[in-house]
Each structure stands twice: as structure tokens, then as C-alpha cells.
Amino acid sequence: MAINNKRRIILKSSGAAAATSVLGAGALMSQISAFADTSSRMSKSDQLQLTATQAVTFIRDGRLSAAAYMLTLLDRAEHLAGLNTLISLNRDGALAAAREVDAKRAAGIPLPPLAGLPIVVKDNINVAGMKTTGGTPALRDMRPTSNAPMVQRLIDAGAIVLGKANMHELAFGATSTNFSKFAGFVRNPYDETRVPGGSSGGTAAAVAARIVPAGLGTDTGGSVREPASLCGVAGYRPSVGNGGSERRYDAQGVLPISHTRDTIGVIARTMQDVALLDTVMSGRPIATAVDLRGIRLGVPGSYWSNIDPEVSSLLEKAKLTLRNAGITLVDVDTTGLAALVGVTGFPIALHEAKVDIPAFLTEMGVNVTLEDIAAQVASPDVKPIMDAVIEDKAAAEYATALHVNRPKMQSIFAAYFADNRLDGMVFPTMVVPAPVIDHVTGSPQVSVNGGPPASFFAVATRNTDAGSTSGLPGITIPAGQTAKGLPVGLGLDGPIGSDSKLLGIAMSIEATLSVLPAPSLG
């Protein structure tokens, strides 16, 4: 899928003109030119390897032109268009915003903390002036006039939206194999014949491919952490609790599935970068690395059983590394969760989608109904899900799932952490490496450890869904690669509201593990 001029979105910026009035056009252009010359000493290859933290530091310190950096990444996005990571590319608007950053710096105007940072935003999150398609045909022309609050916070802090990221259609899937003609199949940068995971596969693949250093996804049952794991990057789902006061991130301005389960999440190449975006989005002090000595993490046996042998081998080595770093690993399983997950997560999501999607469409003022969306669904694996939403098949189970089963799950997790004096739990984010793309159904069958074929969706969410349904914060960090070079992720869940500590633990764990090399993409 080529990203062409018809699909570029232009956002106008007036900051450069304001800075011109401070310095005068000649002096301003002279300083910007000198700045660009200095930053050009950093090769494009070196620019591509910058983390988000490094990029904003270099831009603020004058070692890198925001415009030069943005141009490098925009060219990268176009060069790697075949990965289908983006649905729309904001080339002109992003360059204008980057030049504004350079103009402000040249004028001596203090820069905000994320000034010049290119990000991608999953295409179910509103960005003013850019389409929010949800990766589905019926919404391909929906264009919001305001930013989602979490996007607004990032933009206010100086971040620049380079593009809208591709995704599994309507976020109802785990592969990002999107059959919509304007979207296409997202490909894993470590092996383009394989899926990147979903539903935030475009964001994860773009970050892994060095198109951007960070971006936003959404997570209902694992949709940030699963693709982050399969693409070898860091992913963070914040606390949601019951979807009310315990929620860390505002959920407005997002095409929903479930108002009590959905959340925006962060995907980046390092946990330090995740923390950098989190402090802006949450308005809380930035998380810092913690001393791992004295940290206690549960190792739930059911999460570690029946997993791919290579995944098991890599993560057993990771566990040894954690022990050597001073972490106490407590071999204790959760009890009673398995019987509750299946009768809780889907009934909540399916029934709430029936209510929440139409409410969002009304708020957006678009003349599209839920039935219109369902009728035009392009992906074979999404069609039956939308039919179930339309028919409201989960209505009878919803009240019990929401008011009985989920509280039971939350109580089980709370007791698990408290009774065993645990700071969190550690497990394989994904129990298999990325499977090959299924060009027919979009949802491949996979065999786990030699067992019978099973739905990849069920396999993908096996270790993330319980925590997601219960509203826990969750993280994945890269923990190695298989013999074929496919990334493997180590997952962490913590008590509701323990986000800052969990982020700090993940930052320290990440520092003990080997850094994954960039994918070989040319």
C-alpha cells in the first residue's frame, strides 16, 4: 500500500510566522540554516536510532534540527510504505510544525518538554484535521475537529503527529490483518510475512521499524502489549479499574469498544520513553527506575504452562537475570481466574460496543449508524463479531459479567498481590512468536507446543485478558529473539493504581536484559 499525495493530510501552523516577527525574517532564516547545518552532521542512520528521550534532548539542546529529524522520519515512512504501518501520513503538517519548533528555538523561546517529537496515533484516536477511520470502510471519511484529550496533552507538550497508524479493523482482532482497501495488512518489521499483532499493530510496527520513536495505541484485552511484544518494543496499558476514577488516562475522543475496559496506551522503544509520554498524559511525576533488590514478583504457573519451547527458553533465562538482579520471584499461581475470564470479558465488550459506538458516532456528528459499519466491514474475522454486537447477543450476560464476575476477578488479583506481598506478577506476554499472515481469513490457526490448532486471537490474549478485564496496569518489554529473529516479550501486571511503581520496575528490568537489534529493513 503506497502512501500517496491523496492520502496526505495537511495541518497548518502559524508558529514560524510568529517567531519571524521576533527576529526578523533574515536573521531567523540565518539561524535556522545554521541550526540545520549543525544537525546535518548527525547521519540519517543515527537519527533513526534515537529514542524519544534522546530526540527531544538533542532538539532542545540544539544538536538536532526538528525539521531535519522530521524529514528523515517522513522519508523513512514513505520508504517503508509496504509495511502498511500508516493509514495517513501528515507530511506537510508535520514538517510545518517541526519548522515552528526550530523557529522558536532560534528566537530563544523556551521549548516544551516534547518539542519536535514525532509520534504516530492509532487511527481510532481523534486528531484534529486528520481522519479517524477505525480502519473500517464506513468511517474512512470521518474527520474530527478536535483532538482526543490525551493527544491534546502531547501536542501541548510539543509532540508532532507524523501520521495515523493502521490497525485491526475496528480494533476487533489480534493480527492487524486489515482487509479494508485503504488500510491493508500490517506487516511485522522483523519478518514481513508475519503479523505484527493487534489491534495496535500499526503503531507497534512503526516504532519497531524506526519510523517514529513512540506512538499511541489502544488496549481493551491486550491490544497494546501483544503487538509491542511481537514487534520487539515496549508497551504500556495504564490502570483502568472499573473505567471510572481509577482510570489513569482520559478515554474521550476514541472510537470505542468498551467504556469500562478500553484505554489509550503507549508504545515506544524504551521504558524511559514510555515514562516520558506517561508523565505528560497522566499529569503525574515521571516514573523513575527502582532498586530491584527487595522487589517481589509472582510467577503464576498457569501463565507459564503450555507455551512455545523457544519462548519458554528465552523467558526462563530472563527469570534468571531477574533473580540475579535481586528480584524475589514467588512461584504462586492465581486461582479461580480461568473460569471467570471467558464469561466476563466478551460479554462486557460486546454489549458495551452496542451502546458505546453509536454514542461516539452521535458525538462526532456523522451520519453513520452501527448497522452501516457492520454492513461494510471488510475483514472476514471482524464480520461475525460485529454481527454479534448488532444482535446484542451478550445482553443477558452483561449485568452478571459487570457486577458479579469482574468484581470477583478484581478480588482474586487483589488477594494475590496482598497475600503474597507482591509488587506485581511476571509472565510471557505472548505464548507464541508472531505467526504467518493469513491472507484468507485474517485470523490464523496456531499450534502451541505441538497441540491442536487454535485460534490465534485466543492464544494471543491468553495471558493479557484477565488483567485487562480487571483493569490492572500492564507492561511488556523485549526479552530476546527466537532462532528466526522473532521478538519475545516479558509481561508485567500490577495492582490497580500501582502504575508509577510498575513503570519503575519495568525500567530497571529492561536495563538488565539484552537490547534487541533493529530489524533489517534497509
Positive or negative, the CA dihedral 413, 496, 124, 193 is negative
| Whole-number Å distance between alpha carbons of 200 and 399 | 29
pLDDT of residue 5: 32
Q: What would the pLDDT profile of 401-419 be if each residue is shown by its tens digit? A: 999 999 999 999 999 999 9
CB atoms within 10 A of CB 469: 28
Domain total of the chain: 1
Spacing of C-alpha 329 from chain mean position: 28
Strand residues in 123-258 grouped as ranges (E): 160-165, 214-219, 234-237
Q: Let me know if residue 327 belongs to a domain.
A: yes
> Which helix or strand (DSSP H or E) is residue 487 part of?
strand 487-493
DSSP 8-state secondary structure symbol assigned to residue 517: P
Q: Let me know if residue 320 belongs to a domain.
A: yes
| Whole-number Å distance between alpha carbons of 450 and 429 | 19
Which residues, 6+ apart, have CB-to-CB distance to 403 below 8 Å? none
Whole domain around residue 407: which residue ranges? 115-512
Instruction: Give the CA count within 13 Å in the CB-facing half-sphere of 377.
Output: 25
pLDDT of residue 514: 86
Evaluate if residue 37 carries a pLDDT over 50: no
Closest to 412 in 3D by CA, of 348, 352, 461, 344? 344
CATH code of the domain in which 378 resides: 3.90.1300.10
Locate 151 and state its grid cell. Answer: 493527544
The catalytic residue positions are 122, 199, 223
Q: Let me know if residue 54 belongs to a domain.
A: no
pLDDT of residue 515: 87
Q: Let me know if residue 33 belongs to a domain.
A: no
Evaluate if residue 171 carries a pLDDT over 60: yes
Percent of the chain residues topping a pLDDT of 70: 92
pLDDT of residue 262: 98
Q: Let me know if residue 186 belongs to a domain.
A: yes
Q: Let me know if residue 359 belongs to a domain.
A: yes
pLDDT of residue 450: 87
Q: Let me know if residue 66 belongs to a domain.
A: no
Closest to 57 in 3D by CA, of 304, 276, 300, 264? 276
Average pLDDT of the segment spanning 123-130:
98
pLDDT of residue 41: 76
Spacing of C-alpha 115 from chain mean position: 21
Prediction pTM value: 0.92
pLDDT of residue 378: 98
Average pLDDT of the segment spanning 468-488:
98
What SS3 state is found at 117?
coil
Evaluate if residue 127 carries a pLDDT over 60: yes
Reduce the secondary structure of 135-164 to three states and give it as a string.
Answer: CCHHHCCCCCCCCCHHHHHHHHCCCEEEEE
Q: Yes or no: say if 234 and 478 are a contact pair by the CB < 8 Å rule.
A: yes
Q: At residue 506, what are phi and psi to the nearest 5 degrees?
A: -65, -40
| Whole-number Å distance between alpha carbons of 27 and 192 | 47
Given pLDDT bands bounded at 50, 70 and 90, which one contains residue 36? Answer: very low
What SS3 state is found at 223?
coil
Q: Let me know if residue 423 belongs to a domain.
A: yes
Average pLDDT, the chain: 93
Q: What would the pLDDT profile of 312-324 be if each residue is shown by its tens digit? A: 999 999 999 999 9
DSSP 8-state secondary structure symbol assigned to residue 426: E
Evaluate if residue 352 carries a pLDDT over 80: yes
Q: What would the pLDDT profile of 60-96 be if each residue is shown by its tens digit? A: 999 999 999 999 999 999 999 999 999 999 999 999 9
Percent of the chain residues topping a pLDDT of 90: 91
Locate 301 and state its grid cell. Answer: 504457573
